[in-house]
Amino acid sequence: MPRAAAHALATAGAVTAGMTALASAQAPPPTSAPAVSASPAPAPAGATPAPSPSAAASPTPTASPTPRPLYNYVYRPPQAGAAPLPEPGGPQIAEIDLSQIAFVPPSDIHVRVVTNGPTTSVVASTLGRTVQLQRTGDGIFAIDANIPAIPFWLGYLRNRTYPITFVASVPDGRSTQVVLALTLR
């Protein structure tokens, strides 16, 4: 089996998990016009009059670009009836959010896994490589990383789908898992 997904996860593990998410740009606040005295000084004869303050151009507000959603692919496991309910105090994966499901290297990858409260760790693994997701809140685990460019001599790794297994665990060793297929283009 090709090693592209293992390479991607190994790279993700080497990259700092707390990379900053894409920030949206904001327009600068408008500036106020300078104060004008109530009685202007008389202009010398033959001088061209200065434009009045009311004729000065006011700053035009510019629209900020709309930020792209960070997670474009959201997976929610089937509802009760289709899947067994978790044991009391057991782990549960409620949602997996990915920046995309098909990646064109080099590209950024953003992953967030939403779990229940008792879950203490989440790992993602493929082809023998495992990456620990950082806990960012109660029941929320995430990692932001970069999939590096693939050299031409490893081109056979492209245009393939790789299974990525997300495993959520509690301290007593119980775990649950979800397998998603990611494509490397």
pLDDT in tens, 135-151: 999 999 999 999 899 99
pLDDT in tens, 81-112: 555 666 788 999 999 999 999 999 999 999 99
Nearest-Å Rg of the Cα atoms of the chain is 27
Q: Which residue carries 């009059």 as its tokens? A: 49
The ranges assigned to domains in the chain are 4-17+68-184
For a pLDDT cut of 70, what percent of the chain falls above it? 58
Largest interatomic CA distance in the chain: 93
Determine the Cα–Cα distance for residues 70 and 136; give it in Å rounded to an integer.
16
Determine the Cα–Cα distance for residues 139 and 120; give it in Å rounded to an integer.
8
In terms of CATH, what superfamily is 4-17+68-184?
Answer: Immunoglobulins (2.60.40.10)
What's this model's pTM, rounded to 2 decimal places? 0.62
Residue 45 φ/ψ, nearest 5 degrees = -65, 140
Handedness of CA 10, 15, 20, 23 (dihedral sign): negative
